[in-house]
Amino acid sequence: MERKSWTEAQQYCREEFTDLATIDDMTENKKVKSTMQEAGAGDAWIGLKEEWQWSLVDRENEAEFRSWEPGQPNGGEGGDSTHPYVLVTERKNWTDAQRYCREKHTDLASARNQAENEQIKGVIPHSNHLNPVLYWIGLFRDAWEWSDGSSSTFRHWGAGEPNNQGVACTEIEPSGQWKDADCGDGSHFICYEDELVLVRENKTWREALQYCREHHVDLVSVTTDHIQRWVSELAKGASTAHVWVGLLHSYGVGWYWVCGQTVCYSNWTPGHEQVESFHQGVGAVESGGGQWVSNLTKTDQLNFICTTKDGCD
CATH fold of 196-307 reads Mannose-Binding Protein A; Chain A (3.10.100)
Surface-to-core class of residue 293, CB atoms within 10 Å of its CB (0-12 exposed, 13-18 middle, 19+ buried): middle
**Number of continuous H segments (helices) and E segments (strands) in the chain:** 6, 14
Please, which pLDDT band fits residue 26 given cuts at 50, 70 and 90? confident
Sign of torsion, CA 280 293 266 30?
Answer: positive
Is 306 in contact with 212 (CB distance < 8 Å)?
yes
Instruction: Establish whether domains 6-52+143-192 and 196-307 are of one fold.
Output: yes
Q: Which fold, 6-52+143-192?
A: Mannose-Binding Protein A; Chain A (3.10.100)
CA-closest candidate to residue 151, choices 301, 23, 296, 308: 23
| The one-letter amino acid at 111 | A
Segment 133-183, tens digit of pLDDT: 778 887 765 467 777 766 566 788 888 888 876 667 888 877 778 888 888
What pLDDT, on the 0 to 100 scale, is given for residue 245?
Answer: 95
Domains of the chain, residue spans: 6-52+143-192, 196-307
Average pLDDT over residues 63-89: 52
Q: What pLDDT, on a 0 to 100 scale, did the predictor assign at position 213?
A: 92
What are 233-283's pLDDT values in tens digits? 889 888 999 999 999 988 778 889 999 898 888 899 987 776 655 567 899
